Chain A
Amino acid sequence: MTATTTMDATPISHEKYEERAFGFWIYLMSDAIIFALLFATYVVMLGNTAGGPTGKELFSLERAAGETALLLLSSATFGFAAVALANADKSRSLLWLLVTVALGAGFLFLEFREFRGMIAQGAGPDRSGFLSAFFTLVGTHGVHVSIGILGIFVIIGQVLIKGLTTPVVSRLARLGLFWHFLDIIWVAIFSVVYLPGLF
């Protein structure tokens, strides 16, 4: 009287990738909470300008539009890279990944210029509670974008060295989730911070 065996051991099984995909998704949910609370703090501190400059005096509609366009396009180009990958087209996927990096870097460049300009005119994060909240909300998003760009470089390296193996492809898929998530946060940022601030 013995139980039948089950073939329940396979190296790096399909289940493992599902677990990683789900786990990463849950991580993004926790990140969403962090951003939600940064947004809430920003709204609470909108009026806390301590006699210093307000958003209207500091923000620029053109720059916000530029940043938005760059990030939105980069989301699309990441998607093009993912499609190329699904069609096993290594060189095209690498090309679109590099375009994504360039667009992301352009976004960061504009943001860096914006921050630097504000700090130079005495409107840095230490000027008022409102500015602390602004710099932290937008800056945290920028830090995430930077980490995303670093991640893309790592993936490019892995694709070049290991090729389009399943682990590499799965990592790229998770990075894609991250990248698109950041664009969603940006939609919220321009809708809560820049547009109302500039009206």
Chain B
Amino acid sequence: MDVSGFPVERSIRPYLIGLGLALILTAIPFALVATHALPRLTTLVIIAIAAVIQILVHLGFFLHIGFRSTPRENLIAMAFAAVLIVFMVGGTLWIMFDLHHRMMV
């Protein structure tokens, strides 16, 4: 951790690795949609998984988030935000689709 409060990264290697992985993880879902090679549900699941992995790649290689390198309070804040997003988005989808089902709105 340097004086600016962030981990210092002196080499471009993580960015190159991250870029490479991200490109692959982008190309796969785009290709699947372009070619319609797999059925819809399977494609959607692969898109979702690739997105999650790519987000982790961004967090690890671009933002240098790591269990040891990142301060604990930052990790806890991120975990808390993730939990809340699950509640809020999940709850919203549950409520709104339930209402849609019952009242066709």
Q: Which positions in A face B, CB cutoff 8 Å?
A: 14, 17-22, 25-26, 29, 32-33, 36-37, 39-41, 43-44, 61, 64-65, 68-69, 72-73, 75-76, 79-80, 82-83, 86-87, 166, 169-170, 173, 177, 180-181, 183-184, 187-188, 190-191, 195-196, 198-199
Q: Is the CB of B74 within 8 A of A195?
A: no
Q: Is the CB of A72 within 8 A of B26?
A: yes
Beyond A21-B4, A22-B74, A29-B81, 6 additional pairs, beta carbon < 8 A = A36-B89, A83-B12, A83-B15, A86-B10, A166-B3, A191-B50
Across the A-B interface, how many residue pairs have beta carbons closer than 8 Å?
A: 134
Residues in B60-90 with C-beta less than 8 Å from chain A: 62-63, 71, 73-74, 77-78, 80-81, 84-85, 88-89
Residues in B with CB closer than 8 Å to A198 are: 33
Q: Is the CB of A61 within 8 A of B58?
A: no
Q: Which positions in B face A, CB cutoff 8 Å?
A: 1-6, 8-12, 14-16, 18-19, 22-23, 26, 29-30, 33-34, 36, 40, 43-44, 47-48, 50-51, 54-55, 58-59, 62-63, 71, 73-74, 77-78, 80-81, 84-85, 88-89, 92-93, 96-97
**A41–B36 alpha-carbon span in the complex (Å):** 27
Q: For chain B, what secondary structure do more than half of its interface residues adopt (helix, strand, loop), or is it mixed? A: helix
Residues in B with CB closer than 8 Å to A188 are: 51, 55
Known: A21-B6, A32-B81. A199 touches B40 (CB 8 A): yes
For this complex, 21 residue pairs linking A to B, each with C-beta atoms less than 8 Å apart, are: A18-B5, A21-B5, A25-B74, A68-B30, A72-B22, A75-B58, A86-B8, A166-B3, A166-B4, A173-B4, A180-B58, A181-B63, A183-B62, A187-B54, A187-B58, A188-B55, A190-B26, A190-B29, A191-B48, A191-B50, A199-B44
Q: How far is the CB of B93 from chain A (nearest CB, A)?
A: 6
Q: Is the CB of A170 within 8 A of B4?
A: yes
Most chain A beta-carbon neighbours within 10 Å: one of B5, B10, B26, B73: B5
Known: A29-B78, A79-B12, A180-B58. A61 touches B6 (CB 8 A): no
Q: Is the CB of A33 within 8 A of B81?
A: yes
**A107–B1 alpha-carbon span in the complex (Å):** 32
Q: 9 closest A-B pairs (Cβ-Cβ)?
A: A21-B5, A79-B15, A170-B4, A191-B51, A17-B5, A29-B81, A76-B19, A40-B92, A173-B6
Q: Is the CB of B40 within 8 A of A17?
A: no
Known: A32-B81, A65-B30, A199-B33. A40 touches B15 (CB 8 A): no
